[in-house]
Structure 1
Amino acid sequence: MISSILSNWYLDECTAEYLSYLPKLNLSSRSYANGTCTCDHSLNCLSPLIIDEWVVPGLQIGCDPMESLLQSTLECLYDVTCINQIMPNNTTPNITFHALKSTLSSFHDNVQSLVNILMVDQLKTNVTYENYYKSCAPAYCTYSLNTRFDKVFVFTNIMGLSGGLTVTLKLIIPFAVKFWQHIQVHRRRVVQPMTNVIS
């Protein structure tokens, strides 16, 4: 993918020998780190940013603009002369730029480490209802919860109920049928007493 600032690829104009009247564009990869790293092999190539043959302290340029920014430090923004040197002379004359205060301990940290510090690793909440009730001191407390059954909840409950009933009935019905057959067999076998008459 070609970056919008053409930091990883650039277009060369060259003419074809057989079509000398038409210009031909050639796509070439940029190289960084004194030509030892090219963007067609690695997107992590970096070099110090140079403006008019002046190396800007802490700022990097490379194939991927985001990676270049993350590996740069903000030390130039702490120095007024550095800020004045990177700002063009034709900027609005009413705007003045001030250097950052150098009281931060992250003066030489790269932007990636600053971003990592800003991100929350683990959020710990400490809810103490006792302190709330002590400060509020309510006479009584009630709450109501209004919910509406959604379609997925109703569907899964119906499926669970039907599955449970199916298993239960598969276990109970054979025993119930055998019990009913047992009762029917005993009813038919009712022994009627016979009296023997001897004459």
Structure 2
Amino acid sequence: MANIKHINDFLWFNIFQNRIVSGLRTNYYIDTVPGSAVSIFLMSGYTNENKTCTCTLSDNCVHQAGIYNLTGRVGLQIPLLFGSLANDAPLLLTIPGIMVGCLPYNSILASKLECFYNQSCIDQIQIFMKGFSLVKPLSSSHFEKNTTVNDLFHQLFIESWNPMINFTGYFHICSPNSCTYSYNRRFNLFYIIVTIISLFGGLKTILYFSTPVLVIFIRRIQNCKNVQNTNDEHSTMNQTNERNQNFKQWFSFHISKIYQKYLTLNMFPLLSDIIDGIYSTRIFILSLIIGVLVLVFYSSLTVYIRINSVYQPSMNEYEQLYKQYSSTLTCPCTRLSVSYSSIIYMKPYYHQVCSSDFVKDDKWLLYSLGIDGFINSRDFRIRTSTTFSMLQKLCILSMEAVTNELAVFNSLQFVN
């Protein structure tokens, strides 16, 4: 599109600066006196929004197109105008959106197609131009109805793209040797068991040596403060024994034996005080249980990454893996690059005007060629053939540009 715009700007800059006369006499014309060798070279001018613009100063002068009650050119009252609207017959019909100006190309770019979406607008034109019975109104578009032809041309008249991706073909060309994926796991029983076994020995050793020291230290402090603490301990033991007797009434004999064994269990026989050994044993067992529970809880919350590989996967295997592990799945291709034409097909859909009756029917385009050329230059009837022929050429130019760019795109290589 950039190349088209550059060529277009260069071409029309030369036409304007070199004062090339339009064959339709829309920017300059020569006025001659019959029977005389005298001729006058005159410039055309167009009025838009109550401002007169001359083609000498700008090639973008435009005026609203219309149909006038005029079959011949009235004498010039204003030298700068090709026909005086003040002396010509009144305007019969205004064509919404269609502009006329110095150059047909600039005029069509400044025009809008809003009238041709409306059947009633076409019916009004048909009163003066029977050829409009050959055309049908345009259907809806994602472009606004008041979009200029220039804006449509900048978009190459493309309504939408329909890309068709051939992933199956791409996968076979890619032909990966392996696919690797990873995922996070929690609460893996094997992992928890291994973790507990690896830490259990160290935890047991630490508690075994630290518990007696802690118990002896606490009991010595209590003995220093109050000798009565010892009596309280014996009293507590007696109360515990009494409760144990109550337990015998509710539980079986074997449970009672186990409980009694627990009460007198001493895993630290080297201590001089048996009571210190019993308390140390209880604290040791309780601390060990709490430590194991903490390890189990921590291991269940720990997330670890597991990596798997599948060798020479099929298309179905790849699709299943992609559904489950799309964020981590990698399948390196055996080929470094693949042409885009092998994996994607781009189909453009153009604005309906490019396939409508307004541009595709040559009979319609030839309709206005027999109209008297001396009709006022602003009259839509004298501009019809040029307007829609130019629109047809813009559509063809856009399609050719898209076709060429797609050919270049298809020849490019997609690097895997």
TM bracket (short chain):
0.5 to 0.7
Q: 1:28 to 1:131 in 2, by over 3 A?
A: same
5+ long unaligned stretches in structure 2: 1-19, 69-90, 159-164, 176-313, 316-334, 336-416
* Rg larger in structure: 2
Distance 1:74 1:40, change over 3 A: same
Task: Provide the C-alpha distance between the structure 2 equivalents of 1:61 and 1:46, rounded to a whole number of angstroms.
Answer: 5
Q: CA deviation at 1:25?
A: 2.2
Could you state the TM-score of these two structures normalised by the residue count of structure 2? 0.27
Q: How does 1:15-94 map to 2 (within 5 A)?
A: 21-33=35-47, 34=50, 36-52=52-68, 53=91, 54-87=93-126, 91=130
Measure, in 2, the Cα distance between the counterparts of 1:3 and 1:59. 19
8 Å Cα contact 1:106-1:114 kept in structure 2: no
2:171 to 128, 131, 137: 131
Partner SS for 2:172: helix
Work out whether 1:116 is the aligned partner of 2:130: no
Say if 1:74 and 1:108, in contact at 8 Å, map to a contact too: yes
**Per the alignment, in what secondary structure is the counterpart of residue 134 of structure 2?**
coil
Q: Does 1:99 align with 2:115?
A: no
Q: Return the letter of the residue paired with 1:37.
A: C
CA distance in structure 2 between the aligned counterparts of 1:102 and 1:78, rounded to whole angstroms: 8
* Identical columns (%): 29
Deviation of residue 88 (structure 1)?
6.5
| Match in the other structure for 2:239 | none
Work out whether 1:3 is the aligned partner of 2:22: yes
Distance change >3 Å, CA 51–CA 130, structure 1 → 2: closer
Q: CA deviation at 1:92?
A: 6.2
Give, in whole Å, the separation in 1 of the partners of 2:102 and 2:119: 28
Distance 1:132 1:119, change over 3 A: farther
Map 1:170-189 to 2 at 5 A. Answer: none
TM-score by length of 1: 0.52
1:159 paired residue number: none
Letter in 1 for 2:120: T
Q: CA deviation at 1:109?
A: 0.4
Measured after TM superposition, the shift of residue 127 of structure 1 is: 9.9
Structure 2 Cα separation of the partners of residues 35 and 82 of structure 1: 27
Deviation string 1:91-129 (CA, Å, 9 cap, x unpaired) is: 469x53211113443311000111111279xxxxx9988
Deviation at 1:26, TM superposition (A): 1.3
**How far apart, CA to CA, are the structure 1 residues paired with 2:149 and 2:166?**
34
How big is each residue's C-alpha offset from its partner over 1:61-86, in whole Å with a ceiling of 9 and x where there is no partner?
11111011011000111112322333
Q: Note the aligned Cα RMSD (angstroms).
A: 3.3
- Which structure has the higher relative contact order (CA within 8 Å, separation 6+)? 2
| Residues 173-198 of structure 1: CA deviation (Å, up to 9, x unaligned) | xxxxxxxxxxxxxxxxxxxxxxxxxx
Quick one: distance in 2 between partners of 1:130 and 1:109?
A: 40
Question: What residue in structure 1 maps to residue 210 of structure 2?
Answer: none
CA distance in 1, matches of 2:157, 2:137: 25
Gaps spanning 5+ residues in structure 1: where?
16-20, 121-125, 142-199
Aligned counterparts of 1:72 and 1:23: Cα–Cα separation in 2: 39
SS of the residue 1:50 aligns to? strand
